[in-house]
Every structure is written in structure tokens, then in C-alpha cells.
Structure 1
């Protein structure tokens, strides 16, 4: 198997999973020519054993594989929490299979033989989506860390402010004075390092989105 050397200078990796060695080699050459890191695997098991799923990248996955097929592997990755975007490849124009893959979150479903530009375009979309996902995840972790610095009362005040309640309303709701509400608001803004209520609302929305997201 040919692949680039792991490098921190090349954050994006295209993981190719296809049992056809000629296809693996052709795709490897194509991505290397575009200065992309690429790692190729014959089976899903080989990918799970050797690939670093924490890397920024995407998976180029053949549907027809011996043993665990591509769609089953997609479901398995979802169950173990691997959210790397997937581009499917197949030599068969199976429309129901394509629909199922796309509904499960696949970026694209390409029928072999495909044009080089088609696969490059699909991979570009996948890498862009993965980068956005990783940035959002990093942002979420930072927000969660800041939230841990709040006291229970400060958190209650924050949620009330995010709902658009005035100090007087928050004081009534929490059974405290308006002066105390103002103190809590100021403390919340400092601890969360935000300068406006709009920024505070965005943080709360991020937390709500994370809470409402289905568990892997």
C-alpha cells in the first residue's frame, strides 16, 4: 500500500477503502497529485485497525466489499462515534442503496467509472464539511469548559438573560434582588469572556444544540 508520510503540515487525509487494488492505486496517485495526504485500505477492518480517526479528513468508501459492505460499515462508524464524512463509490447503479447512503449522511454517491474531477469535487466538499465539524466541536468544548466556571445561580441568571428577561423579571423569577442579578450578570459576562447579550445567547444556543444532538 502506498501512502504519504503522516505529517502535521498536511492536516487533511483522504482515507480510501476499496478491495480493488487498481482502484486504490489510481486514487492514491490522484490525491497525491493534488498534494493531499491519502491512506488506502483493502477492508473496513484494516481501516479500523490502522487509520487515525481523529485526523481531519474524509472516507472514500466502496459499497461492494467482502464481508462488511460499505453501508453496514457506515452504520458501524456512526455507532462508534466516528463522524468523518463519507463519499461512496460503487460499480452498480443501485438507486435505493444510494438513497439510503445519502439519508444516513453520505456526502455523495459516485458510480464507477467516474471522472477525476467528480471525485475531487466530492472530496473537497467532504473535507470542508469535516473541517467545519471539527471547528464547531472545538468551539463547543471551549464553551463547555467556560460554563464549568459558573456557579449554579450564575448559570440560572445566564439562562434567564438568554431568554430575553429583564433584570426585574429575573429577580422575581429567582427570588433575589435586582442588584444581585446585576452582579451575577456581570460575573457571567466576565467568566464567559463575552461582551454582549448576543454573544451570550449564541453560547447558550450552542449548548442546547449539543444537548439535543443524538448520542453516537
Structure 2
């Protein structure tokens, strides 16, 4: 199975599938076509990069139902909706549900290709973000519980003396913990450590004063 980014075309109209396949391959993009939503589901495995070119009206599972299936199963692949003029309200619904674009039939070839390029860029950015978050999670797992506490306080703007008082330790001990946190998180600066904390959705819960 190829690891190249792929345009997955789902349309019950064979002539349309063939036309789209020819157009997409003409600009050296990889494409796979499917006659139904179920055929796509059976073939696709989460993690494959690319985008989904999806017709709205199809026998069996509709395009909107496939989009909902992907959302429920947390399969984050950018979706472009292809629609007939009468399906525009449905396409708007798809956009509100997260589709990156909808293209009306008959469509302009270059407009469609530009939309596909945009969807591919969205996919690449999503994957880069996921990769970064996974790496940050790996680094966080290296921290001891106390180092994790110190990181939370540091990235929430607490000074060493405040942290020392809160934890009942010396400032030198806090400095040692901070140094180990920076080393284990592979952070070159406090600003970088803060960015990692934000990416990991780390927040400090304040303890109410007595």
C-alpha cells in the first residue's frame, strides 16, 4: 500500500469517477476511486494521508452520512464535497460539519485542483500538529510527578520562590527541578517550554487561599 498522499474519490457515477481520476493523475497526484461510501470504508485505513473527494447523493450511505461516520470514528481526513445545484443546502451542512470546501457541478478543473491542493496542505498541517503533540506527550512521560508540578507552575508564570514556598522546598531544589524539566522536555528556552505546555493543554489549577 502506497504511503504517498492520495486523493480518494467516492462517487457512484462511473463516468465522473473516471473523469476525476484522469484529471487528478494529469497533475501527478495519486488517486483511488470508489463507487460507494461502504467501498471506501472497507478499503481505507485510518492514518493514510490525503483528502476525500465526496459526492453528496449516493445510493446507500450518502456523502453526509460518510462524513458523519468519519467524525464519529475520529478519522481526520479533509473532505471536499462535490454537489449538484440542488444539493447546495446539503453541501453547506457539510461545510458546517467540517468539510474544507464544496464544488458545484459542472466544475472548473483548475478550481477543483486548487481545492484539492488546499485540502492536501490542511492534511499535512494536521499530521504535523499530531506528530508534535505525540512527541511532547513522550517527553512529558519522562518527568517525575514533582518535575511535572514544577513545569506546570513555571509555565504558568510562577517564580522560583513562589514554587519553593508552594512545594515546601528550597529555591535551589526548584532550580534543579527546572533544569531537569528543560533537559527532559528538550526545551531551549522558557518560551519553548510554554509553547509545549499550551500544545499539551496543560493548565495549573489554583489552590484557593485559606
Normalised to the residue count of structure 1, the TM-score between the two structures is: 0.90
Partner of 1:123: 116
The count of corresponding residues between Structure 1 and Structure 2 is 202
Partner of 2:96: 103
Q: CA deviation at 1:81?
A: 1.1
Partner of 2:2: 7
- Identify the range of structure 1 (97-106 vs 195-204) with the bigger mean alpha-carbon deviation: 97-106
2:155–2:197 Cα contact (<8 Å) kept: yes
For structure 2, list consecutive stretches of 5 or more residues without a partner in the other structure. 203-210
2:83–2:91 Cα contact (<8 Å) kept: no
Cα deviation 1:47-103 (Å, max 9, x = unaligned)? 011123311100000000101111111011101111100000012343431221111
Structure 1 segments, 4+ long, off by >4 Å, are: none
1:93–1:111 Cα contact (<8 Å) kept: no
Q: Is structure 2 residue 163 aligned with structure 1 residue 170?
A: yes
Aligned residue among 6, 11, 32 for 1:39: 32
Cα deviation 1:175-207 (Å, max 9, x = unaligned)? 221111001000000011111000000000010
Partner of 1:180: 173
Name the SS for the 2:85 alignment partner: coil
Aligned-partner Cα distance in 2 for 1:12–1:34: 13
For structure 1, list consecutive stretches of 5 or more residues without a partner in the other structure. 1-5, 210-216
